[in-house]
Chains A and B, each alone.
Chain A
Amino acid sequence: GDSVTQMEGPVTLSEEAFLTINCTYTATGYPSLFWYVQYPGEGLQLLLKATKADDKGSNKGFEATYRKETTSFHLEKGSVQVSDSAVYFCALSGGGSTLGRLYFGRGTQLTVWP
């Protein structure tokens, strides 16, 4: 079945450091891929998405490229800020999945120190 494997955390970085959070997936068909962010005590917000191979999603300085050959969708940011501290979830939908259902990774806690 469809699944997402996400880098285990927690990840602790200093401000302005480079961030990579790895995500790989298993899916039938042609899924869409997403990164969601969850700030403390809040629900999930969509950070970025990509709907087909080689697409690059980007938002707020974060980027991720849909790599079908490596079944990956790694999240990157060149210079993190304290305000980026949150939990990040990789997810997929579509392909062989139940209509509209999202499959999530376990989440990666990011803490950025000033």
Chain B
Amino acid sequence: SQTIHQWPATLVQPVGSPLSLECTVEGTSNPNLYWYRQAAGRGLQLLFYSVGIGQISSEVPQNLSASRPQDRQFILSSKKLLLSDSGFYLCAWSPPGPSRANTEAFFGQGTRLTVV
């Protein structure tokens, strides 16, 4: 069966510090991968998605970047955090291929990031 791991679960970082959140998926190959952010009192915002190694699409221009160095690894980064980067970050995956375009996504447990 497929599983998704996301860490750390919580993180407190000072303004201006770097960020690295990691997500890995097991039990599947070539998944579509996603980073979402959930700000307090708001819905989910898609930040980045990837359909393959080295292929990253950004939905919203901002202070963050994403990378996919391996097939089942997705990393969210920042060189200098802002207060507005605080939120709940969720990694997700969905099966690859156009025949599964209407399938659901499966989410990790999330990372609560507080920038102070």
**Residue ranges of A at the interface with B (Cβ–Cβ < 8 Å):** 6, 30-32, 34, 36, 41-46, 49, 51, 89, 93-94, 97-102, 104-107
CA distance A9 to B103 in the complex (A): 27
Q: Check if A43 sits within 8 Å of B90, measured CB to CB.
A: yes
Tell me if B86 counts as interface (CB < 8 A to partner A).
Answer: no
A100 touches B103 (CB 8 A): yes
Q: B114 on the interface (CB 8 Å rule)?
A: no
* B101: nearest chain-A partner, CB-CB: A94
- Give the residues in chain B near A102, CB-CB below 8 Å: 34, 46, 92, 104-105
Q: Which residues of A contact B57 (CB under 8 A)?
A: 98
CA distance A6 to B42 in the complex (A): 12
Q: Are B90 and A44 in contact (CB under 8 A)?
A: yes
- A104 vs B44: C-alpha distance when bound (angstroms): 6
